[in-house]
Amino acid sequence: MKRYVYINDDSLEKDLYCHNRISNRKYTIWNFLPKNLWEQFSRFMNQYFLLIACLQLWSLITPVNPASTWGPLIFIFSVSATKEAWDDYNRYLSDKQANEKEVWIVRHGIRKLIQAQDIRVGNLVWLRENDEVPCDLVLLGTSDPQGLCYVETSALDGETDLKTRGIPSACLGIDVELLQKIKGVIECPSPDKDIRRFDANMRLFPPFLDNDVCPLTINNTLLQSCYLRNTEWACGVAIYTGNETKLGMSRGIPEPKLTAVDAMIDKLTGAIFVFQIVVVIVLGVAGNVWKDSEARKLWYVQYPKEGPWYELLVIPLRFELLCSIMIPISIKVSLDLVKGLYAKFIDWDDQMVDLETGIRSHAANTAISEDLGQVEYILTDKTGTLTENKMIFKRCCITGRYYGNENGDALTDEKLLTAVSSGSDDAIRFLKVMAICNTVIPVQSEMGGITYKAQSQDEEALVRAAAHLQMAFANKNGSIVDIRFNGALIQYEVLDILEFTSDRKRMSVVVKDCQTEKIFLLSKGADEAIFPCAHTGQHMRSIAEAVEQYAQLGLRTLCLAWRELGVDEYEEWALMFKDANSTLIDREWRVAEVCQRLEHDLEVLGVAAIEDCLQDGVPETIETLRKAGINFWMLTGDKQNTAIQIALSCNFVSPEPKGQLLLINGKTEDEVCRSLERVLLTMRITDSEPKDVAFVVDGWALEIALKHYRTAFTELAILSRTAICCRVTPSQKAQLVELLKSCDYRTLAIGDGGNDVRMIQQADIGVGISGREGLQAARASDYSIGKFRFLKRLILVHGRYSYNRTAFLSQYSFYKSLLICFIQIFFSFISGISGTSLFNSVSLMAYNVFYTSVPVVVSVLDKDLSESTVIQHPQILFYCQAGRLLNPSTFAGWFGRSLFHAIVVFVITIHSYAFEKSEMEELAMVALSGCIWLQAFVVALETNSFTILQHLAIWGNLVAFYIINWIVSAIPRAGMYTIMFRLCKQPSYWLTMIIIVAAGMGPVLALKYFRYTYRSSKINILQQAERMGGPILSLGNIEPQSRSLEKDLAPLSISQPKARNSVYEPLLSDSPNATRRSFGPGATFDFFQPQPRLSAGYARNCKDN
């Protein structure tokens, strides 16, 4: 689809395209209530609670007042709706501010001031310096004589360096006054969200230009939300407006991510629902049988002899309503609240602040903090993530001569300085390519010096190095480039730029020497992109050896080349290049094809080697996280040897003989097949020798492996703890993340540039580094940090604490609901199995909303171990990775505890008060008091680190229970008149509470003491060492153990892996039978190692895509 934009045509502006009003709102005043309710009731749990609330309106079956369910339901829905309304209101205010901003446009030949929301497609928009661009514009004129302007795009793509934008060639030389009368048409594609691409054509109507087609690219545009910098004014025509701009098309609500904890909670909720249905059916049948056999014989029951047709459903539905509280209605709100606090803890962490830039860590996604504690794979970019992305020119090789090898710095190498000063042709040409073949912008400072603005740190390093060697890029005036060499001015006219793409892996410029009129092609790029373009007579051995040598040192390499062009050759090619740039279909492919026709028979001048130092703390961070059982994959666009050296220096892999690197290479399917088979065979037999084995694969072999041998490559991914993937594209990074996710691993992707965004968004957890490449990765991520080293604290401290706290909170929520429900069930056995409720509606509502919620919310401050201990012993993260604190086994423990405590409360209450002349309300209040007392001690027992706030929440909540009930007991119409006053005056009441607490907590304390003393987990031992104040013994380092596979696996023929054998460990125990990340039977305290990644007893549930 195409769109035709008529420039400055007032007669068409109102009819064709949308207005410029921005709207990011999710709701309106009229649709908020129905739309929000629809969204909330689209969840199964909310539908379930709504059904229960509606059933309670049937007075014949409801055992309690409907307010006991409607009250909490309305409260919870109101909280969620209020949060949504507040967020949407803030979006509205932001939109209003942008829409009402005043801008200058041209209408009917007159410049006038209007609001941004009134801009129409085709309007001429005038901008002044530092103005924000209100919509997508095609640039038509600027204050610069050469038609250039500078824009800041950080709000769009996160890149902080200024970018150059230029007017189309057809608009050069048009006077400012004539711009207001310009007429023409732009043929452009329909709106899309690709901010890197704009393929369009423009025709100006006479008298400006006689219908000649002028191609337009992204470099001729100003996109919405960019800022005009260092330019007095600029003028452009609006092509996309409102939500049809590239930024507007990119907006959207990201897909919600489901954490492993949330998935487990959903499964447990389903299990409780099934259990509830079984209980309802059993009790419903029993109730109907008792009613027909016994109840009709009792005169005081007054059952009619014949009832309505639905009589058999009454008792089961009563029990359904009675048992509905088995599923806690407040669990979602409670979890959302504490997860929001987890995110704030990350934002407030002063130990995760980059002191150089002042950038704080930030949690953009508040719903997945507990997943940080269950990460199993980290996939990381290299440049700017592991390294500083501060490029320094270190060495070079020019026509076989090495510079910088002796002193490690080519810029101070006397041989190179002599070659430059003596006018060596090879050295001069090498420096000219360094200085001219780039997109760097030189900026004159007030002090007379020159600073460089570059989108690529590599280019900036080359230009600075050339300037240091007397080949200074002094100025760029339109297409004229000024080079100062030894004080002399050399001028070149840039005729064409052959831009860098991830497919071409090189860039070139066509320049004309203004003095000699000769035309040259200057190129630079990766060795595999430049070498095939070299002319056949050139000896490439010395240059190839230099590339390998520099890569072995961990340096980034760029090959530089050039050739002289004939005038006829260039003019013929230029016509094809212009034609390719004018097409609207497959323009990028056509341009690349035309570029290849010129980039041949190059003379390769040499190799430039650039150093990118590691960030502080990277090796230590990776070593610590590897001890925690986390596997690392490096995904980089660098060449193989460079990536390997960086991996060795930052503890990705161990050097020989402890470590072993296995290479997967090949250009054809057969070569990759044989290489992959050889590596798999080696990996399978390493069980006899515990080595740190890693595999290395390049982008070409990876493409073949993922396409034709995906199952075999998946097995390799399971077997290996470390992988180094070189020369990979952004799409391949995302594919590797998806591969590991399909094997049921929890993945974390971390990067710093725009090429890492797809990988970050694909992973379970995306982490962006606010680096020198901009903020694009940080904005697309779930968490943003200033440096890679903060990842250690993010995972080990925040991730682990979040998982532990969420595991306790979710299971405790079920425990308190099951406790009160079991008491109701037991009461039914002494009330004719009729579904009568022991507790009144007010007590039930207060129990769920107030009495048991406050202490749990404060559990977000609990720490089972100090932060220093967690960092010192990262191995304990295994408990989180294996799901040791939240699984069916631990939930069964909480289920059993709730059943036991319900028996204790019910039996003691009945025996203490049933035979007294007590009212039923008194009996219910004694049972409710027992529940509140037990839960206070349960929370206290499960709390590891007490603060004043926690003491106030636990014991203050107990005091508040009595204060609230004293107040209610003073109200005659409350149904509890004087009950609490009478109970508190009875010594038997307080004795009953003491007996309930002793009987309920005694066995729990005894069991915990037994586990803590005789079956201590590693966490228990560390806790004991912390409390005693003594030295903490080392848990030992992780040494990768041998990996065993099923013996009958044939090479490259992998059967579907067996389902995961989930054997879980109860809370606070160290089960020797646990196979997933278990420590094995008889494992000693000092030998704390993980099980093999894949074994006969435990195979990953890997989906073969």
Would you name the residues annotated as active-site residues? 381
Cα-based distances in Å from 830 to 496, 843, 978: 93, 21, 26
Q: Residue 708: phi, psi to the nearest 5?
A: -110, -25
d(CA 199, CA 217): 5
Element (H, E) at 494: strand 488-498
Residues 6+ apart with CB under 8 A from 1052: 673, 676, 677, 680, 709, 711, 712
d(CA 49, CA 327): 9
> What is the DSSP-derived secondary structure letter of residue 105?
E
CA angle 532, 536, 541 (to 5 degrees): 70
Q: Residue 1094 in contact with residue 631, Cβ under 8 Å? A: no
Q: Write down the residue that tokens 């798999």 correspond to.
A: 680
Element (H, E) at 812: helix 800-829
Task: Give 774-804 as a 3 state SS string.
Answer: ECHHHHHCCEEECCCCHHHHHHHHHHHHHHH
Q: What tokens does 696 get?
A: 């290395």
Pairing of strands 692-698, 722-726: parallel
Q: Write down the residue that tokens 């090479």 correspond to.
A: 1051
Crossing angle for the helix pair 457-468 and 425-436, nearest 10 degrees?
140
Smallest CA-to-CA distance from 435 within 417, 396, 461 is with 461
The full length of the chain comes to 1105
Compute the chain's Rg from CA coordinates: 36
Helix (H) and strand (E) counts in the chain = 36, 33
d(CA 818, CA 906): 13
Q: Residue 1091 in contact with residue 1075, Cβ under 8 Å? A: yes
Q: Residue 251: phi, psi to the nearest 5?
A: -70, 155
> What is the DSSP-derived secondary structure letter of residue 688?
G
**What 3-state class would DSSP assign to 882?**
coil
Q: Residue 822 in contact with residue 902, Cβ under 8 Å? A: yes
Crossing angle for the helix pair 920-942 and 987-1014, nearest 10 degrees?
30
DSSP assignments along 18-62, one per residue:
--S-----S--TTTHHHHHHHHHTTSHHHHHHHHHHHHTT-TTT-
* Amino acid identity at 700: W
Q: What tokens does 1008 get?
A: 């915990």
> What is the DSSP-derived secondary structure letter of residue 851?
I
Buried b or exposed e, range 753-790, using 16+ CB within 10 angstroms: bbbbbbbbbbbbbbbbbbbbbbbbbbbbbbbbbbbbbb
Q: Residue 229 in contact with residue 152, Cβ under 8 Å? A: yes
Smallest CA-to-CA distance from 618 within 422, 805, 385 is with 385
The alpha-helical segments, DSSP class H, found in 884-1037 are: 888-913, 920-942, 948-969, 979-984, 987-1014, 1018-1028
Q: Residue 384 in contact with residue 614, Cβ under 8 Å? A: no
